[in-house]
Amino acid sequence: MIKNLSILPLLGLILLLNGCKSEDIAPKFLNNSTVIIDKVNSIDFAQRNANNEGAITIVGKSDKKFQSAKIKFNSSLSGVSTDWLTLSIDPVTNEFKGKFTLKAGGYYPQIQLFNDSKVYTDTLLTWNVKVGEVFAVIGHSLAEGQTPYTIENFDPTWASVLNYSSGNVNNFWGRLAEKLKVKLNVPVRIYNTGIGGSTSEQWGLSAMGLPFQHPFFDWKGRYPFYLYEKRLVNEISKVGLRGILVIHGENDGLLSENTIVESTKMYIQKTRDLLDAPQLTFSIAKSNTGGTSEPIMKVKSAQKRILTEIKNTVVGADLETLTGEKFRWDGIHFNSAGLEQAAIRWDESLPLSFFTQTSPYTPK
C-alpha cells in the first residue's frame, strides 16, 4: 500500500500551467480513473551532470484497473519535452513506476493509462519534476535565518528552499536560488540546513561523534551535525548535489585558529565520506562581524588556511564587509538590507565558471 499519496486534479489544466506551451500538450483529457503520485518514493529533483542531464523517478498508482501506462514530460522551464515513454506496471496493485533521464529544466508530467490499447485516462499533473542545481548549507544562525527578517517573495516553483524544520524561515536562500535560476536557466534547490548557535568546532566534533560541552547541543546525539546528516543521507543522496555553502565565523572568535581549521576538515571529510564524493566542493564564506580585533583576525586567518589546506574548497560570499547597523540589526544578524546583499554576494561567488569547473555529486 503506498502511503502519503497526493491525489492530483485531472481536468482543465492545459493552459493553466505556467510556461507550458499549447503545442507541447495536445491531449484529449479523459478521467475514467484517478492518477495518484507517491511523492515519498518518487524523485522529483535531480542534480544535473556534466552532460546537462539528470534522472528522475516516478512512482504512482490508479484507483482502477489498467493494462498499460505511458508518460511524457512537458517542458516549462528550458528543458526538452519528451515523446511518450513507457511506465512499468503492476496489474495486481494498479501501480506504475519508471526512471527517466531528462535534459536540465522544469517539467510537468502527463500520464496516460490504457485498456484494450485505448486511452482510458489522460492526466496532466500539476506536480512537477526538475533537473538542475542543488546546494546544501552548513553554518550558524546567519545561515539558518531568524525571524522577523526573511525574504519570501521568490519563485518557489523553480527556485525552492527546503528547511530542516517547518519552523524555520527561508532566510535569503530563496532569493539566491532565484538569481541562480535566472542566470543558469535551470531549476535550483537549496537545502537550508544551517543550525543557529553553532560553531565550526561543534560541527566538526559532532560529525565525528566526539564529546564537547554545550547548553543545548547533545554531543551524544551528534548534534548539530546529525540534523544536517539526516537530510544528506535520506534525501540529498538520492537527488544529487553541486556543493555545500558554508557560513561560519561570527561564533568562532573564542576558538583557536587551529581549532577552526581542524574542525572544518572534520565536517567536510564526514560529508564527503557519507556521499562517497571526495571531490565535492565546499564554498567557504568570508564571514565575521568586521574589524581588526584579535578574534576577528584569527577567524579571517583560519578561513584563508581552509582554502589552502583543504582540497576542493573555494571562496564563497564576501559577507565580512556587510557590517554595522546598515546590514546587521544587532551587529551580528542580517536585517532586510543585509539579507538582500547576502544573496547578491553569494550569487557573485557562483559565476558560470563555477558550474563548469566543479564536479557535482550524482547518485550512483
**DSSP H or E stretch at residue 45:** strand 45-47
Extract the C-alpha cell encoding 134.
Answer: 542543488
Q: SS3 for 318-349, per residue?
A: ECCCCCCCCCECCCCCECHHHHHHHHHHHHHC
Q: What is the pLDDT of residue 166?
A: 74
56: Cβ–Cβ under 8 A, 6 or more apart, which residues? Answer: 42, 43, 44, 45, 46, 99, 100, 102, 129, 130, 131
CB 100 within 8 A of CB 88: no
Q: What is the pLDDT of residue 165?
A: 77
**Residue ranges in the chain assigned as alpha helix (H):** 141-144, 173-184, 200-208, 225-231, 237-239, 257-275, 294-309, 336-348, 352-357
pLDDT < 50 regions, the chain: 1-28
Sign of the torsion formed by the C-alpha atoms of 329, 332, 336 and 341: positive
- CA angle, 285 then 288 then 292, to 5°: 125
Q: What is the pLDDT of residue 4?
A: 45
132: Cβ–Cβ under 8 A, 6 or more apart, which residues? Answer: 45, 46, 47, 48, 54, 104, 105, 106, 158, 181, 184, 186, 187, 188, 189
Q: What is the pLDDT of residue 127?
A: 94
Q: What is the pLDDT of residue 130?
A: 98
Query: What's the whole-model pTM score?
Result: 0.91
Q: What is the pLDDT of residue 6?
A: 41
- Residue 126 CA, chain-centre distance (Å), reads 21
Give per-residue burial for 104-134: e unless 16+ CB within 10 Å, then b. Answer: bbbbbbbbbbbeeeeebbbbbbeebbbbbbb
Q: Which domains does the chain have, with CATH numbers?
A: 5-127 (2.60.40), 132-357 (3.40.50.1110)
Q: Where are the beta strands (DSSP E) in 116-187?
A: 118-124, 129-139, 159-163
- Give the separation between CA 159 and CA 281, rounded to whole angstroms: 21
- Residue 14 CA, chain-centre distance (Å), reads 29
The single residue listed with the C-alpha cell 519528451 is 82
Give bridge partners of residue 313 from the DSSP assignment. Answer: 282
Sign of the torsion formed by the C-alpha atoms of 208, 211, 212 and 216: positive
Nearest to 143 by CA among 348, 361, 343, 303: 343
Give per-residue burial for 20-34: e unless 16+ CB within 10 Å, then b. Answer: beeebbeeebbeebe
